[in-house]
A = this chain, B = another copy of it.
Amino acid sequence: MRLYHSIHAPNARRVRIFLAEKGIEIPLVDVDLGELDHRQAAFRAVNPFETVPVLELDDGTIIAESVAICRYFEELTPTPNLFGSTPLERAEVEMWQRRAEFFLLLPIAQVLRHSHPAMAKLESPQVPDWAASNRVKAQAHFARFDATLEGRPFLAGERFSIADITGLVALDFSKPARLDIPEEFKNLRRWWVDLAARPGSVR
């Protein structure tokens, strides 16, 4: 099998971190998003939705979408568990994975895509008002995550999970998006520092 990815794509990084946490190594195929290679016929034959990451199995089967790829590896290599191990835990991890995705990663990515000059080719047309609106949304969500993380090491509770991977990738993406995470959000910042220090937190 092999993984189509880009070193700059946050969704591809989610899978790279997930694999590192599992101790899995697989061949990577670089897709140059800056050159719009994901919109060329060769890559569209792999994924008509023009996104990375994509996992290609040895028989040619395609699994696109970061979380789908992670879930596949969770089943192949169940330890360490990153999706929860009881029905309730799995629901809670899914809840936090989605919250990290929709309330951190998505608004932060929208700020970057619609405000950064380097994204003008990838996101056309850029909508500056949408970037501005997402700056406000992101700050409101930072406050909610900070409150959640009071006295709690990880999003879904005591155990590191895929939800934290999404959160780390989102917060790291706040830098190129030029979004400040205020000092007052001590829990959020402590969580960010702890996640970034994990050996599995690869680029």
Residues of A within 8 A of B (CB): 48-49, 61, 63-65, 67-69, 71-72, 75-76, 87-88, 90-92, 94-95, 98-99, 103, 125, 127, 129-130, 133, 141, 144, 147-148
Number of identical protomers? 2
Contact assessment for B127 and A49 in the assembled complex, using a CB-CB cutoff below 8 Å: no
Q: List 5 A-B contacts (CB under 8 A).
A: A63-B88, A63-B91, A68-B98, A72-B88, A127-B130
- Not counting A129-B130, A130-B133, a sample of 11 additional A-B residue pairs whose C-beta atoms are within 8 angstroms of each other reads A48-B148, A49-B103, A63-B92, A65-B94, A69-B91, A71-B90, A71-B94, A72-B90, A125-B129, A127-B127, A127-B130
Interface residues of chain A: helix, strand, loop or mixed (majority) = helix
Minimum Cβ distance to chain B for residue A170 (Å): 15
Given the contacts A48-B144, A129-B130, A92 and B75 also touching, CB distance less than 8 Å: no
Chain B residues with CB under 8 A of A141: 49
Contact assessment for A94 and B75 in the assembled complex, using a CB-CB cutoff below 8 Å: no
- What is the bound-complex CA distance between A87 and B1, given in angstroms? 15
8 Å CB contact of A68 from B68, B91, B127, B144: B91
Task: Using CB atoms, name the residue of chain B closest to A125.
Answer: B133
Contact assessment for A147 and B48 in the assembled complex, using a CB-CB cutoff below 8 Å: yes
Contact assessment for A127 and B125 in the assembled complex, using a CB-CB cutoff below 8 Å: no
Chain B residues with CB under 8 A of A99: 49, 64-65
Contact assessment for B129 and A95 in the assembled complex, using a CB-CB cutoff below 8 Å: no
Contact assessment for B103 and A87 in the assembled complex, using a CB-CB cutoff below 8 Å: no
Given the contacts A127-B127, A127-B130, A129-B125, A90 and B65 also touching, CB distance less than 8 Å: no
Minimum Cβ distance to chain B for residue A9 (Å): 14
Task: Using CB atoms, name the residue of chain B closest to A48.
Answer: B144
Chain B residues with CB under 8 A of A63: 88, 91-92, 95
Given the contacts A130-B129, A133-B125, A72 and B48 also touching, CB distance less than 8 Å: no
Centre residue among A63, A87, A130, A141 by max chain B CB count within 10 A: A130
